[in-house]
């Protein structure tokens, strides 16, 4: 009990704590649902041992979500299967728990969302919704090539986020190869990357696919 504080005040505080905890849990669950994560991932389940060159301390520092407070971006790059999406989802989950509003897209779904909004004349409504987010996660940037219209919508999206909303992007492409998936437009790729990387943390994950490694290990275990 704190000095100069009556027992009744302490009693009221203890009485209110379960309700506060319940409301906090409900708010977190609501943010997780609104984020539309395809699955829930935790940092504790990430296989750091399979990617020894990845700075674990840096990853844990990023999980504190201070980059969101500063409205900076995070790019997670690496070959397929090294856990880029796992980390992005884990950061997104942590952000929801810390009170931030998050939205998840694959790059293809993001572009399709813009195309649908354009057909319905609802671009302004979509962009307003994006600006209300504290963090937007775009998975698989560069996985599928975009035509000029799709690349233009990706640029529009990054322009809306620029210095307003933090962005996590995962990609398996080095930046030099981005024109290949952006309608072979080097100028557009340059401007887009300028928006994305002006204020950015970059996590480069070097290593072999741990999904493949896990499958091989399971195969060995099943052998007679």
Predicted pLDDT at 206: 86
- 119 burial (CB, 10 Å; 0-12 / 13-18 / 19+) is exposed
The three-class DSSP label of residue 77 is strand
Assess if residue 92 is contained within a domain. Answer: yes
CATH code of the domain in which 195 resides: 3.40.50.300
Assess if residue 13 is contained within a domain. Answer: no
Predicted pLDDT at 20: 72
Predicted pLDDT at 24: 87
Predicted pLDDT at 22: 84
- Residues 6 or more apart whose Cβ sits within 8 Å of residue 34: 101, 102, 103
Find how far residue 178's CA is from the centre of its chain: 20
Predicted pLDDT at 21: 81
Q: What are the b/e assignments for 44-59, b being 16+ CB within 10 Å?
A: eebeeebbeebeeeeb
DSSP for 19-39 reads: HHHHHHHHHHHHHHHHHT-SS
Assess if residue 196 is contained within a domain. Answer: yes
> Partners of 205 in the beta sheet?
78
Assess if residue 3 is contained within a domain. Answer: no
Structurally, the chain folds into a number of domains equal to 1
Assess if residue 1 is contained within a domain. Answer: no
Question: 3-state DSSP: the chain helix, strand, coil percent, rounded to 5?
Answer: 60, 15, 30
Assess if residue 26 is contained within a domain. Answer: no
Assess if residue 61 is contained within a domain. Answer: yes
Domain housing 42: 35-222
Predicted pLDDT at 17: 76
pLDDT digits (tens, 9 = 90+) for 20-45: 788 889 999 999 999 999 999 999 99
Residue 62 φ/ψ, nearest 5 degrees = -65, -30
pLDDT digits (tens, 9 = 90+) for 179-196: 999 999 999 999 999 999
Residue 25 φ/ψ, nearest 5 degrees = -65, -40
From the first residue on, what is the mean pLDDT of each consecutive set of 10 residues in the chain (224 residues)?
59 67 90 97 94 93 97 96 96 98 97 96 95 97 92 94 96 93 92 92 83 52 52
Predicted pLDDT at 210: 60
- What pTM does this model have? 0.86
Predicted pLDDT at 219: 47
Predicted pLDDT at 18: 76
Assess if residue 57 is contained within a domain. Answer: yes
Cα separation, 174 vs 154, in Å, equals 18
The three-class DSSP label of residue 179 is helix
């Amino acid at each position: 009990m704190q000095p100069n504080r009556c027992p009744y005040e302490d009693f009221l505080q203890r009485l209110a704590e379960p309700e506060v905890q319940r409301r906090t849990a409900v708010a977190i669950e609501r943010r997780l649902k609104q984020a539309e994560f395809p699955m829930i991932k935790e940092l504790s389940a990430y296989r750091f041992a399979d990617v020894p060159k990845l700075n674990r301390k840096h990853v844990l520092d990023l999980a504190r979500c201070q980059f969101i407070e500063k409205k900076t971006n995070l790019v997670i790059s690496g070959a397929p299967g090294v856990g880029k999406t796992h980390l992005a989802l884990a950061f997104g989950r942590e952000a929801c728990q810390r009170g931030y509003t998050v939205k998840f897209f694959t790059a293809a779904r993001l572009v399709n969302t813009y195309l649908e909004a354009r057909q319905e004349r609802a671009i302004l409504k979509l962009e307003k919704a994006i600006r209300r987010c504290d963090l937007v996660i775009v998975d698989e940037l560069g996985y599928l090539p975009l035509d000029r219209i799709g690349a233009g919508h990706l640029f529009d999206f990054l322009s809306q986020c620029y210095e307003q909303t933090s962005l996590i992007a995962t990609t398996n492409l080095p930046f030099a190869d981005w024109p290949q998936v952006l309608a072979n437009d080097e100028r557009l790729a340059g401007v887009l990357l300028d928006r994305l990387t002006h204020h950015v943390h970059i996590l480069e994950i070097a290593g072999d696919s741990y999904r493949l490694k896990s499958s091989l290990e399971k195969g060995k275990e099943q052998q007679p």
